Amino acid sequence: MKLHHFFVLYVFFLLFANTIAFGETVIPIPGPPSVSAKSYVLEDFKTGQIIAESKADQKVAPASITKLMTAYIVFSELKRGNLHLEDQVLISEHAWKTGGSRTFIEVNTRIPVEILIKGMVIQSGNDASVALAEHIAGTEEVFAAIMNQQAQKLGMTGSHFMNSTGLPSDNHYVTARDISTLTRAIIQDFPEYYGWFSQESFTYNNITQYNRDTLLKRDPSVDGLKTGYTKAAGYCLVSSAKREDMRLISVVMGSKSPQSRANEALALLNYGFRFYETNNIYSALEPITNALVRRGAEKEIPLGVAHDLAVVLPRGQWKKLSSAIQVTSPIIAPIKKGEELGAITVKFKSDLILERPLIALTTIPEGSRWQKMSDWVSSFFSKETP
């Protein structure tokens, strides 16, 4: 079968002017803020589009940002039913002795999984991270192998893990782009556990420790996720914030101080919210167009997209957006709901920004003998052969 140009639909969203205007003063949309970190990414959560980046694919030491992958695997095990929040974890000497930031768990004690997760996520406890890794995989080495398998599944092609904590180790590295991908997956796949990343303090063993993410107090729209620091990594911060219907993710790797990582992350978030916006072009499973059907019980079938089709663009520039629809021709029954029958492409100016399949929104069975004969006659006189 071939793809036939069914029609081209130009979508005009004139929400604002092409630039942001205050009175008679027209202000062009600026470039991203100056960031001194080794690398960074600013990503729109809904679409996965990158708004701003610098050295996003450079391999860097992740420090405790590593614990985002540890958390992803723990959450996955919870969701599969292989792990439960109330499960008791026996603390090994290896976990107890792990240096760096700690939850202060005691060797040979049994601690619920939920406590260890909070210790890892809120306090950045290395001991809690190792205890969870050992409970799931037996050893931290085996857990690291699971981390790398999961990284490949998520498309984190520039990252490699050697431990569950982010303590310095040869061949342990990530990229800012990969961490943004991982962060998006955590928020998307595990909304039921995401709230722990915004908790400002946690008390265990009569010791209260505070979340090192200072943005949680500085900006109420920020609701996570993780800080990190080692001498090799510098000061790192992964943040997410939601304002109205737009959520952004910022990843700042290798800043010079705790203050600079927070300031740079907030500057990126403010930039994204101020100058960009996310809007749906088409909603999931809603008809976009109808296509002719041959030999079917129905003459036409509605086509749409499986998921919301959204894009993020500079504010006021929706007028430069266009979409083109291509439909497979001929479409011959029977047709199953969800079957791919074409494609939709979206361009900003002349640049292709996304392409998605068009799917059948209903099932159409093969038509009766009379319906098929009628189609044949119609095709014959229109000089088409179905």
Q: Which residue has the tokens 């109420």?
A: 220
Per CATH, the number for 37-255 is: 3.40.710.10
Interacting residues of 49 by C-beta distance below 8 A, sequence separation 6+:
43, 311, 312, 353
Is residue 308 classed exposed, middle or buried when 0-12, 13-18 and 19+ CB atoms within 10 A define those classes?
A: middle
Comparing C-alpha atoms, which of 269, 226, 233, 237 is closest to residue 254?
233
Comparing C-alpha atoms, which of 177, 182, 94 is closest to residue 133?
94
What is the predicted pLDDT for the residue at 373? 61
Interacting residues of 138 by C-beta distance below 8 A, sequence separation 6+:
none
What is the predicted pLDDT for the residue at 385? 44
Q: Which amino acid, one-letter code, is at 164? A: S
Which structure tokens are listed for 93?
């000497």
- How far does the chain reach from its first CA to its final CA, in angstroms? 11
What is the predicted pLDDT for the residue at 378? 65
Q: Is 36 a catalytic residue?
A: no
Per CATH, the number for 2-16+281-381 is: 2.60.410.10
d(C-alpha 376, C-alpha 378), whole Å: 5
d(C-alpha 53, C-alpha 32), whole Å: 9
226 appears as a binding residue in the annotation: yes
Strands, DSSP E only, in the chain? Answer: 2-9, 20-22, 25-27, 39-44, 50-54, 88-90, 110-112, 201-204, 207-210, 222-230, 234-243, 246-255, 276-282, 289-292, 300-304, 309-314, 321-329, 340-348, 351-360
Q: Is 64 a catalytic residue?
A: yes
Torsion of CA 190, 195, 197, 203, to 10 degrees: -130
Comparing C-alpha atoms, which of 310, 301, 314 is closest to residue 279?
310
* Beta bridge partners of residue 300, listed in sequence order: 292
Q: Which residue has the tokens 């085996």?
A: 142
What is the predicted pLDDT for the residue at 21? 37
Catalytic residue among 39, 54, 92, 124: 124
Is residue 122 classed exposed, middle or buried when 0-12, 13-18 and 19+ CB atoms within 10 A define those classes?
A: buried
Checking phi first, is residue 205 left (phi over 0); if not, alpha (psi -120 to 50) or beta? left
Comparing C-alpha atoms, which of 219, 227, 217 is closest to residue 254?
227
Instruction: For the chain, give every domain's residue range.
Output: 2-16+281-381, 37-255
Report cis status (omega within 30 of 0) of the bond before 330. Answer: yes
Let me know: does 359 contact 335? Beta carbons within 8 Å.
Answer: no
Catalytic residue among 39, 64, 101, 129: 64
Comparing C-alpha atoms, which of 61, 103, 71, 109 is closest to residue 89?
109
Q: Is 239 a catalytic residue?
A: no
> Could you state, in chain order, the average pLDDT of each consecutive group of 10 residues for the chain (386 residues)?
40 36 51 96 97 98 99 98 98 96 96 98 97 98 98 98 97 99 99 98 94 97 97 98 97 98 98 94 94 90 94 88 91 94 93 93 84 62 50
Which structure tokens are listed for 176?
């800012």
Catalytic residue among 39, 46, 54, 67: 67
Looking at residue 131, what DSSP letter applies?
Answer: H
